[in-house]
Structure 1
């Protein structure tokens, strides 16, 4: 399913075999934080998922949300230990990153508006729970 979404978004060329597989019967409530980035010299924000038991399933859900919100493909990069999925809107770019430890981030340089749209969509879903961050 995740490969089909990547192909639909134009982020991956069609292949005969799937790179990711996700159990359609699997359910997990993914906890996330909407918080400032670790770079204290910017006013940028991020959405951080750090407790996912199944990062592939989380990524599939996030890609469905990005597609539903109307973001356009802006390419992908696969590194040795992580994947970056880039999308764009009229507000700018966002990047979803997932590493081999299943830490997932949604980053947006100078684009808090799109992160707020994604946050609102996550709040409407029973699949996600927002955690409050300490100030």
Structure 2
């Protein structure tokens, strides 16, 4: 099971999804996209940030555009600065997904 927070970015009002447990699994990306397949995500752009050991994948979907960031330390973030409504819908989908568990978080920690 993957555990995630739906939280604000540090010193930001924009929300994001942080997968903090399980993102290091080889099957994470395919499991994530199976869980959200109902919104029909399609890869739009890939950026390999080798200096940060991170990959950014931007997707178009029926609920708008979002970006998945995954690093070598086992963290993954889903961000959608200009699509917060879509990110809320994505969170709603993950809340119902069998492989994902939302962990409540104190928003005050991120101010």
Q: CA deviation at 1:66?
A: 4.3
Per the alignment, residue 69 of structure 2 pairs with 97
Query: Could you tell me whether the CA contact under 8 Å between 1:32 and 1:47 is conserved in 2?
Result: yes
Q: Distance in 2 between matches of 1:127 and 1:37?
A: 24
Query: Kindly tell me: are residues 53 and 84 of structure 1, through their superposed partners in 2, closer, same or farther at Cα, counting changes over 3 Å?
Result: closer
Q: Distance in 2 between matches of 1:53 and 1:71?
A: 19
Using the size of structure 1 for normalisation, the TM-score is 0.68
Secondary structure at the aligned position of 1:64 is classed as helix
Higher relative contact order (CA 8 A, sep 6+): 2
Structure 1 consecutive aligned stretches of length 4 or more whose deviation exceeds 4 Å: none
Unaligned runs of 5+ in 2: none
Per the alignment, residue 73 of structure 1 pairs with 43
User: Which of 60, 65, 69 pairs up with 2:30?
Assistant: 60
Deviation per residue, 1:43-92 (Å, 9 max, x gap)? 31100011226333222212234443123321111221111110124664
Bigger proportion of residues as strand: 2
**Which one has the largest radius of gyration?**
1
Unaligned runs of 5+ in 1: 1-28
Using the size of structure 2 for normalisation, the TM-score is 0.81
User: How many residues get paired?
Assistant: 105
Query: Could you tell me whether the CA contact under 8 Å between 1:35 and 1:46 is conserved in 2?
Result: yes
Aligned residues: CA RMSD: 1.9
Query: Kindly tell me: are residues 125 and 66 of structure 1, through their superposed partners in 2, closer, same or farther at Cα, counting changes over 3 Å?
Result: closer
Q: Distance in 2 between matches of 1:53 and 1:69?
A: 21
